[in-house]
Each structure stands twice: as structure tokens, then as C-alpha cells.
Amino acid sequence: MERIAVFPGSFDPVTLGHVSVIRRALPLFDKIIISIGVNSEKKSMFTLEQRMNWLNDIFSKDSKVEIKSYSGLTVEFCNEVNAKFILRGLRTSADFEFERGIGQINRKLSDNIETVFFLTEAKYTPLSSSIVRDVIRNGGSADGLIPPEVIF
């Protein structure tokens, strides 16, 4: 039985923090599906196509990584793609509280799926997609925050 994990998020845009978590988690799984959650109420800065293209470029040489998008409940998507694990990153205690709630509700919805957490690398603790969006919006340089493949 393949060990498949879903890494759900908006990736608007993908940051070096996301990439670090994915690369560190790869030895644990046979496949990681980076899954862009599409929420019609949440306006993104970058189109779904652009976000998917960047992820495909970044992981083009990693045969164990797939990129998909989904809408609706993450656990339902996991069941569709046969994933028994949800991968998430933890930066701060605020992340922990937020993730605890989601993780426990996901488990109530589907108790065959476990959430696996990776602590962020210390240097990426202050990094988030929303901070990167702010930097970009205000004309700052996002060097060192996002992978070089993220070109806009």
C-alpha cells in the first residue's frame, strides 16, 4: 500500500518555507500531492494556473511529487486520491492552535486520515505567503523568500 500524503494550501505564492517542508517530508512518503485548495470566496493574488505552473517547475525532477487542485473538504479529496496523511507546517504557537482545530475536526470527519506536522526551519519562521504578497504589492524584493522559479 502506497503511503500518500496531501499537502494542502493556497500557495499564493509558494514560498521557500513550503518547499522546505515538502522536501523534508519526502523520505517519509511514497508520494506527496501538493494540493491547491480552490475557494471561490477567497480571492487569490495569482491565478490557479500560475500557482500550479510554479509548483510543477519547482518539483519537475521529483518523481514522488504531484500537483493537483481541489475544491471542497480536504479529507474528501484525500479519500479520492487514496491519501492517508495530510502534511502541514508549524511555524508558531498561533499555527499550532489553528492547525489543532482543523486537524481534530478533519479526524472527526474521516478517522482514517492522520495529520502529520513538520516544524518549520527556524530561518523560515517569519515567512508566509501573505507577507510575500505584501512585499510584492509594495514593490519590494522577494529574493530569499520565494523559489527562483516563481517569476511574475
CB of 51 to ligand ADP, least distance (A): 9
Give residue for cell 514522488: 64
Compute the half-sphere exposure of residue 48: CA atoms within 13 Å on the CB side of its CA.
14
Specify the residue, 1 or 94, whose C-beta has the smaller distance to ligand ADP. Answer: 94
With respect to ligand ADP, which residue has the nearer C-beta, 1 or 134?
134
Catalytic residue selected from 10, 64, 129, 130: 129
Smallest gap from Cβ 115 to ligand ADP, in A, equals: 9
Which is the catalytic residue, given 42, 43, 61, 108?
42
Active site residue 3: no
Does residue 18 carry a catalytic annotation? yes
Which residue number, 9 or 32, has a Cβ lying nearer to ligand ADP?
9
Q: Which three three-digit cell numbers place residue 36?
A: 491547491
Cα-based distances in Å from 51 to 12, 15, 43, 56, 82:
7, 11, 13, 9, 23
The amino acid occupying position 97 is E
Residues engaged in binding ligand ADP (CB under 6 A):
9-11, 15, 17-18, 21, 88-89, 91, 95, 120, 124, 127-129
What is the set of active-site residues?
A: 18, 42, 91, 129
